[in-house]
């Protein structure tokens, strides 16, 4: 999945909670100018309203909001939380923040991500990666 640049991958030992994980994964895109601050808060509000729908498989969450919530360009970040976190009752280590500038430009990215996370062994390897260089090998 070459859509995630090395600079868009961060590895942390732990986070405070799921909101902190969403903010930290969003900050990566914010610092690149891919999104505006309000996008992160919109993603948090979506989760508060709709629940853990963004946990797409064991260990993987994909917070996101609508294009009109402050997306400047389609991009994705990856936050690996080594210790893992409780995401509204679901255990998560990998947080892929998705930002799509429209309703269709993210479809290919999601297709590639789906293929990647269908491989449970690969997800496990990514969850236990030591650094972003190791994660890049799996992407």
Nearest to 10 by CA among 81, 113, 100: 81
User: Which residue of the set 10, 64, 93, 106 is catalytic?
Assistant: 64
Nearest to 1 by CA among 96, 89, 87: 96
What are the respective helix, strand and coil percentages of the chain, to the nearest 5? 45, 25, 30
**Token match 């269709």: residue?**
104
Q: Does residue 1 belong to any structural domain of this protein?
A: no
Residue 10 bears catalytic tag: no
State the total domains in the chain.
Answer: 1
At residue 1, does pLDDT exceed 80?
no
Q: Does residue 54 belong to any structural domain of this protein?
A: yes
Whole-model pTM: value is 0.91
Q: Does residue 63 belong to any structural domain of this protein?
A: yes
- 77-91 pLDDT tens trace: 999 999 999 999 999
| pLDDT for the residue 34 | 94
Output the domain CATH number for residue 62. Answer: 3.40.930.10
Band (3; pLDDT cuts 50, 70, 90): low
Q: Does residue 81 belong to any structural domain of this protein?
A: yes
Domain housing 110: 6-138
Average pLDDT over residues 25-40: 96
At residue 65, does pLDDT exceed 80?
yes
């Amino acid at each position: 999945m070459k859509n995630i640049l090395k600079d868009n991958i961060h590895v942390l030992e732990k986070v405070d909670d799921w909101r902190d994980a969403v903010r930290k994964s969003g900050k990566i895109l914010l610092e690149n100018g891919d999104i505006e601050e309000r996008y992160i808060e919109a993603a948090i509000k979506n989760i508060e309203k709709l629940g853990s729908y963004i946990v797409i498989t064991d260990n993987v969450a994909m917070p996101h909001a609508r294009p009109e919530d402050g997306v400047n360009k389609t991009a994705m970040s990856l936050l690996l939380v080594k210790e893992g976190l409780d995401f509204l009752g679901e255990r998560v280590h990998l947080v892929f923040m998705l930002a799509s500038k429209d309703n269709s430009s993210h479809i290919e990215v999601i297709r590639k991500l789906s293929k990647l996370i269908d491989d449970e062994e690969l997800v496990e390897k990514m969850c236990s990666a030591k650094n972003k260089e190791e994660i890049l090998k799996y992407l």
